Amino acid sequence: MWIAELARRAGVKPTTVRHYLREGLLSPRTGHAGGSRPYLEFTEADLRLLSSIQAGQALGLSLEEIRMLIGVRRSGEGHARMLKVLTAQREKLRGRAQDLQAMLTFLERKIAWLESGAKGAPPSHAEIHDAKKLK
């Protein structure tokens, strides 16, 4: 399949596929289709890899980290590096989750305060910062 079909099937724009190509994340075969201009031929394996790249980005991994993980997987190296990166990312996400929970708690208190007619002292923004300090 060519770039346009890969992009369509992955639910991304062709420019995204080209970006991943420039970053060295995808390595399709090069062929010739009835002419002298080479074209890129993608396979189902490339589609699965593109899905993995998107999953890594959704988890907040950088393209550099994703490239390293792809390299580890392709080389058959031990999984220690992969485990280290993924464990560190899990801790980052847990920290973000705690920050989001603190903001959500403040927002819920502010909404409750407004729904009750805004009587009494409003919830303080300091509550968010205090909650972050407790982690």
Domain covering 3-77, topology: Multidrug-efflux Transporter Regulator; Chain: A; Domain 2 (1.10.1660)
Is the pLDDT at 21 greater than 70, yes or no? yes
Is the pLDDT at 134 greater than 60, yes or no? no
pTM greater than 0.75: no
Q: Which residues are CB-neighbours of 77 under 8 A, at least 6 positions away?
A: none
The domain ranges of the chain are: 3-77, 91-133
Q: How far is CA 90 from the centre of its chain?
A: 12
Is the pLDDT at 84 greater than 80, yes or no? yes
Give the mean model confidence (pLDDT) for residues 50-69: 93
Whether residue 28 contacts residue 41, with contact meaning beta carbons closer than 8 Å, is answered with: yes
Give the mean model confidence (pLDDT) for residues 32-59: 85
